[in-house]
Structure 1
Amino acid sequence: MIASLFIGTSGLTKNEYTKNVLTYSDFITAMNDGDIASTKQTGDTLKVELKKEITRDVDGEEVTSKKFEISYPSGIELTDDQKIDPVKANLDVEPPSNSGDIIWGMAQLLVPAILILGFFFFMMRQAQGQNNQAMSFGKSKARIAGNEKSKVVFKDIAGNQESKQDLQEVVEFLKFPKKFESVGAKIPKGVLLVGNPGTGKTMMAKAVAGEAGVPFFSISGSEFVEMFVGVGASRVRDLFAKAKKNAPCIIFIDEIDAVGRRRGSGMGGGHDEREQTLNQILVEMDGFETGTNVIVLAA
C-alpha cells in the first residue's frame, strides 16, 4: 500500500522535457543561432526550451518537441560566459531557479516517511486496543445503582411480610453498623432468596438497598463464567473490590444456580470453571477479611 502511494505521488508531475535527443553541442549551436527561449539548470542537466519545435529521430521514431533535457560535460560551470551568459545577454532571459525541484525532492522523501510512521502508529494503537480488550475479560460486568436511583422500598411490595421482617435486620445492619458492632454483633454474610420465577426476589433485594440507602450492585450468575479459564474468579474479585470501595453496599447475584452447584459436579471435577468461581465467591464472603459491611443477596 505504501509503495503504491509512493509510486503514485512520484508520477504526479509528468516530465515535459524529452531526454537524450538534443546534445550539448546542439545546445551550443542553438544558443549561437539565437534559437533558445529559456534554460533551466537541474543538477548536472539542462532543461532547454527552443523557440520553435524541431523533429529528431529517437530509436527509429520521429519525436517533435521544443523542450529538451540534455546532459553537459562534468567540470563545466554553467556560469561560463560561453554558456549561460550569452543567452542572458542576447535574449534577456534569466534561467529559472531550481527551488521547485528541491521542494519536490524533499516531498518525495518526507511523504513516504510520514506514511510509514503513520501506518506503524496505527498498528500500535490497534495492538494496544486489543491488549486492553483482552485485559477487560477479568473485569466485573456488575451494574451499580446508587441510593439516589434505588427508589423501591418495602411498602412498594405487597405481601411477603415475613420476608420483609427478616430482611429488616439486614437493613438495620447497613444503616447503623456501629450500633451492632458496639455489642459484638456481626453483619450477616449473605441472604439467599428462594422462590419461583416472578415472585419478586429481585424487587425484594432492591427494596433492601432502598430502605438502607446504600449502593446496589446487581449481576447475573451466568455473567461470571466465560470460555477462558480463571475469568470467573477474576470477575468475582473485581466485583467485591468495587463493592468494598462503596461499602456499606449490597451485591445481588441473580440466578446464582448458574455457578452455585454442588461441588465436584462439573465435567472437570474440582477444576471446573464454575467451581473455581463459586470458591472465589465463598472466599470473598467468608474469608480472612472481615468487617467490610458488604452483604450478598442471591436468588
Structure 2
Amino acid sequence: MKFSWRVALLWAMPLLVIGFFLWQGAFSSSAVTSGGNAATTRMSYGRFLDYLDAGRVTSVDLYEGGRTAIVEARDLDLDNRLQRLRVDLPANDPQLITRLREADVSLDTHPPRNDGAIWGVLGNLIFPILLIAGLFFLFRRSSNAPGGPGQAMNFGKSKARFQMEAKTGILFDDVAGVDEAKEELQEVVTFLKKPERFTAVGARIPKGVLLVGPPGTGKTLMAKAIAGEAGVPFFSISGSEFVEMFVGVGASRVRDLFKKAKENAPCIIFIDEIDAVGRQRGAGIGGGNDEREQTLNQLLTEMDGFEGNTGIIIIAATNRPDVLDSALLRPGRFDRQVSVDAPDIRGRLSILDVHARNKKLDPSVSLEAIARRTPGFTGADLANLLNEAAILTARRRKEAVTMAEIDDAVDRVVAGMEGTPLVDSKSKRLIAYHEVGHAMVGT
C-alpha cells in the first residue's frame, strides 16, 4: 500500500490536539506538586490546624507563594514517626505565619520554579507552529494535485501537450491510402527542415493547413506523421479544451498557446476537432455562445494579426468543414485545405499492407481480395477488420488468420453480430422470397 503524507497528517492532527491538552494538564499538575514529590498523602487545612494546635507539626515548607505546603508531622498511630503531608492553604490567612512562629515550627519558603512556566510557554508556541505547518503542507500538496484549489490561477494556461521532439513513432511510411494528402503535407515538413529552398524563390509556406475528411480516414494519424518527420517542437490540443465554463478562459488559453509556440519557433500546432471552437459566429440564438466566439476571435487574431507568426504552422483537423466560420478558412489563416477521403482499392490495399505487418496471416489470405470486397471502408475500418479477424482466430484456437475469419470479420463490421438462426420454416420461406425479390429488381 502506497504511503500518503496527506493521510498521515490527517491522522496526526487529532493526536496533536490531544497531546497538547495532556501536556498542559501535566505541566499544571507538575507545578502544583513541584518540590513535594516525597509527599504521598493529602491533608485538609482544618486537620492541619488541629495538628498545629496539638503540637504535632515539626516543619512546614511553603511552595507556590504560600498556596501549597509540605508538612512534617508526628503520627501518634505510628509511634510518633514523621510523616510528610501536602496541604492546600487558603489564599487569605495572614495569621497562619504568626501561629507557626508561636508554635516554634520550622518554617521555610521556596520560591516558585519557572520550569513549568517555560515549558508551558514552549507548549503554547510549539502546538500552533506544528498545526500551521501541517495545514500549510496539506494545502501545498493539494494545490499541486491535478484539479486542486491551487489550479484556480491556472485556468488561463494552455492545456496543449508539448513535445520538444515529437517522437510519435509514426512516419509517412506508416500512413497509406492518402498519397495526395501526403504529398501536400510533405511540403510542410520540407519547409521546416529546409526553409531556404522556398524562401530563395520568394515562396511562403502556408500558415495553416486544414485536414478535411470523414471520420476514420487518418487525419490525426497524418498530424502524428508530420510531427514524427519534421523533428521540430510539436503542440497538440483538442478544440474542446479551449472552452471552459468561465468567460475569457478560452481566449486566454489561445494567447498562452501562441506565446509558448513563438518561444519555440519554428514549431507545429495541431488542433484536433477544430469545429468545437471554430463554428460560424452569430448562428446561435442571441448571437451564439459568447465564450466560444471570444475564443474564435482570439484564434483568428493570433493566426493573422499585426504581429504575425513566423515559423509557426497550424494544422487542424475536422470532419465538419461546413460549420466552420468563413473568416477561419480565408487565405492567410488556413491557406490550404487538404482533403482526406476514403481510400480507393489501391489505397485500401496499401492500408491493409500496413496493418497486416504485425498479424500472422495464413498464406491463403489475399489482401487484394479483401481490398476488393471492402469498398467505402476507411483506414480505421480496415484496421478494425483485421483486428476482429485476429480476435476470431484466437477464439477459435488457430495459429494464423485465414479467409474464414476475414469473411466473418467483414460480416461483423458491416452487419454486426450474427443473430439467432431461424427455426420456423415459414419465416425462412418469407424472408427468402423477400430477398429474392430484391435480387431480381437489382439485376
TM bucket normalised to smaller: 0.7 to 0.9
Find the aligned partners of 1:85 and 1:287 in 2 and give their Cα distance: 102
State the shift of 1:66 in Å. Answer: 3.3
- Aligned counterpart for 1:70 among listed residues 76, 89, 92: 89
- Aligned counterpart for 1:199 among listed residues 217, 222, 226: 217
State the shift of 1:234 in Å. Answer: 0.7
Q: Which deviates further from its counterpart, 217-226 or 260-269?
A: 260-269
TM-score, normalised with respect to structure 1: 0.74
Could you tell me whether the CA contact under 8 Å between 1:174 and 1:248 is conserved in 2?
Answer: yes
Find the aligned partners of 1:242 and 1:85 in 2 and give their Cα distance: 90
Say if 2:264 is the partner of 1:241: no
Could you tell me whether the CA contact under 8 Å between 1:138 and 1:238 is conserved in 2?
Answer: yes
Residues 225, 30 of structure 1: CA spacing in aligned structure 2 closer, same or farther, 3 A cutoff?
A: farther
Tell me the equivalent position of 1:62: none
Find the aligned partners of 1:107 and 1:159 in 2 and give their Cα distance: 81
Could you tell me whether the CA contact under 8 Å between 1:46 and 1:72 is conserved in 2?
Answer: no
- Aligned counterpart for 2:175 among listed residues 157, 165, 170: 157
Structure with the higher strand share, 1 or 2: 1
Find the aligned partners of 1:53 and 1:131 in 2 and give their Cα distance: 71
Find the aligned partners of 2:220 and 2:118 in 1 and give their Cα distance: 69
Residues 31, 255 of structure 1: CA spacing in aligned structure 2 closer, same or farther, 3 A cutoff?
A: farther
Tell me the equivalent position of 1:145: 163
Tell me the equivalent position of 2:24: 10
- Aligned counterpart for 2:65 among listed residues 43, 59, 80: 43
Tell me the equivalent position of 1:136: 154
Residues 132, 266 of structure 1: CA spacing in aligned structure 2 closer, same or farther, 3 A cutoff?
A: farther
Find the aligned partners of 1:32 and 1:104 in 2 and give their Cα distance: 35
- Aligned counterpart for 1:86 among listed residues 106, 118, 127: 106
State the shift of 1:205 in Å. Answer: 0.6
Residues 190, 32 of structure 1: CA spacing in aligned structure 2 closer, same or farther, 3 A cutoff?
A: farther
Find the aligned partners of 2:94 and 2:262 in 1 and give their Cα distance: 84
Tell me the equivalent position of 2:124: 112
Find the aligned partners of 1:25 and 1:250 in 2 and give their Cα distance: 95
**Secondary structure of the corresponding residue to residue 281 of structure 1:** helix
Tell me the equivalent position of 2:45: 22
Find the aligned partners of 1:30 and 1:183 in 2 and give their Cα distance: 124
More relative contact order, 1 or 2 (CA 8 Å, 6+ apart): 1
Could you tell me whether the CA contact under 8 Å between 2:302 and 2:308 is conserved in 1?
Answer: no
Q: Structure 2 matches for 1:174-253, cutoff 5 A?
A: 174-253=192-271
Could you tell me whether the CA contact under 8 Å between 1:152 and 1:206 is conserved in 2?
Answer: yes
Find the aligned partners of 2:227 and 2:313 in 1 and give their Cα distance: 10
Q: Which amino acid aligns with 1:10?
A: Q
**Secondary structure of the corresponding residue to residue 205 of structure 1:** helix
Say if 2:295 is the partner of 1:277: yes
Structure with the higher helix share, 1 or 2: 2
State the shift of 1:194 in Å. Answer: 1.1
**Secondary structure of the corresponding residue to residue 162 of structure 1:** helix
Could you tell me whether the CA contact under 8 Å between 1:209 and 1:216 is conserved in 2?
Answer: yes
Could you tell me whether the CA contact under 8 Å between 1:266 and 1:274 is conserved in 2?
Answer: no
State the shift of 1:106 in Å. Answer: 2.9
Residues 163, 41 of structure 1: CA spacing in aligned structure 2 closer, same or farther, 3 A cutoff?
A: same
Aligned residues: 277
Find the aligned partners of 1:119 and 1:207 in 2 and give their Cα distance: 54
Tell me the equivalent position of 2:10: none
Q: Which deviates further from its counterpart, 104-113 or 164-173?
A: 104-113
Q: Which amino acid aligns with 2:87?
A: F
Q: Deviations over 1:190-221 (max 9, x none)?
A: 11111122211111011112211112211111
**Secondary structure of the corresponding residue to residue 68 of structure 1:** strand
Unaligned runs of 5+ in 1: 55-64, 89-94
Could you tell me whether the CA contact under 8 Å between 1:20 and 1:70 is conserved in 2?
Answer: no
TM-score, normalised with respect to structure 2: 0.52
Residues 197, 35 of structure 1: CA spacing in aligned structure 2 closer, same or farther, 3 A cutoff?
A: farther
Residues 141, 51 of structure 1: CA spacing in aligned structure 2 closer, same or farther, 3 A cutoff?
A: farther
Q: Which amino acid aligns with 1:29?
A: L
Q: Deviations over 1:65-109 (max 9, x none)?
A: 932122577999x9xx96999368xxxxxx88754xx23223333
